[in-house]
Amino acid sequence: MPEKLLNITACTLSPLGDSAIVITFGDGMEYSIHKKIKLLMDLLEDEPFAGFIECVPAFTNLTVFYDPLVVYKDQKQSNDTEISPFEVVRSIMEMKLQGLKETKKLSHRTVSIPVCYGKEYGPDLEYVARYNDLTTDEVIHIHSTGEYLAYMIGFAPGFPFLGGMSEEIATPRRSSPRMTIPAGAVGIAGMQTGVYPISTPGGWQLIGQTPTKLFLPNVNPPSLLQAGDIVKFQPISDQEYKEMIFKEGLQ
């Protein structure tokens, strides 16, 4: 039985400046959309075209960056008709999209992140509990027993936008964002959860803190998490948190 091709009739291909193309697959944060994005991303990284630089996944689209001069020179060598680098890349993308297989399964790396919940580590935990008519222990249990898909990395270096959180603990962003949030803060915003990799302003509800570093500037890639990773949160005590921070400082 032949493999079933992914339905890509709804996707659009648009230029982004003169050196990138955006392939949009839908308009919502859905696993089916993520799968198409990830399959195309993996295909491009395994079989790059002449001039390909990198691709960046988001919730609903994949942005593919390329060197227009390399694309132009390559097409000139193989075609007497001059067409723009964007048209060349769009044609390549259309061919690759037509070959994506629906039956192909995605492989997901699982990453466990320790979290010390509440108190000074999670100043908004009690608010999240009150908002959802739960106890703080129930919020911790629900949050730490879930499995979360990293749909994209953005906003700040290494910041993961994680989907799959239970509606039971969904909470709106703060009406007044904080000017400074410490690196490692674990937050909730609507139906998403995430971890601040560096100190930055932000409006997410903070429920805990991790000693794990998500932004790794001396590593390639410099982010602990990548789009497509599965994240699990592991509750730790205040003492365990301090011990982990101490060990991090010795490294």
More confident residue, 79 or 2: 79
Instruction: Report the pLDDT value the prediction gives residue 248, as an integer from 0 to 100.
Output: 75
Angle (deg, nearest 10), helices 85-98 and 68-78: 80
Residue 112 CB coordination number (10 Å): 10
pLDDT tens for each residue of 139-154: 999 999 999 999 999 8
Q: How far apart are CA 77 and CA 84, in angstroms?
A: 14
pLDDT per position as a tens digit, 178-229: 999 999 999 999 999 999 999 999 999 999 999 999 999 999 889 999 999 9
Long-range own/partner contacts, residues 117-120 (CB < 8 A, 24 or more apart): 117/143, 117/144, 117/207, 117/208, 117/235, 118/207, 118/208, 119/238
- Whole-number pLDDT of residue 2: 43
Tell me which DSSP letter residue 65 carries: E
Q: Cite the DSSP H helix spans in 63-198.
A: 68-78, 85-98, 125-131, 136-144
What does the pLDDT look like over 76-132, one tens digit per residue? Answer: 777 666 789 999 999 999 999 988 876 678 889 999 999 999 999 999 999 999 999
Q: What predicted TM-score, i.e. pTM, was given to this entire model?
A: 0.87
* CB contact set of 131 (below 8 Å; sequence gap of 6+): 171
CA trace torsion 58, 62, 67, 73 (10° rounding): 180
The mean pLDDT of the chain is 92
Average pLDDT of the residues in 15-31: 94
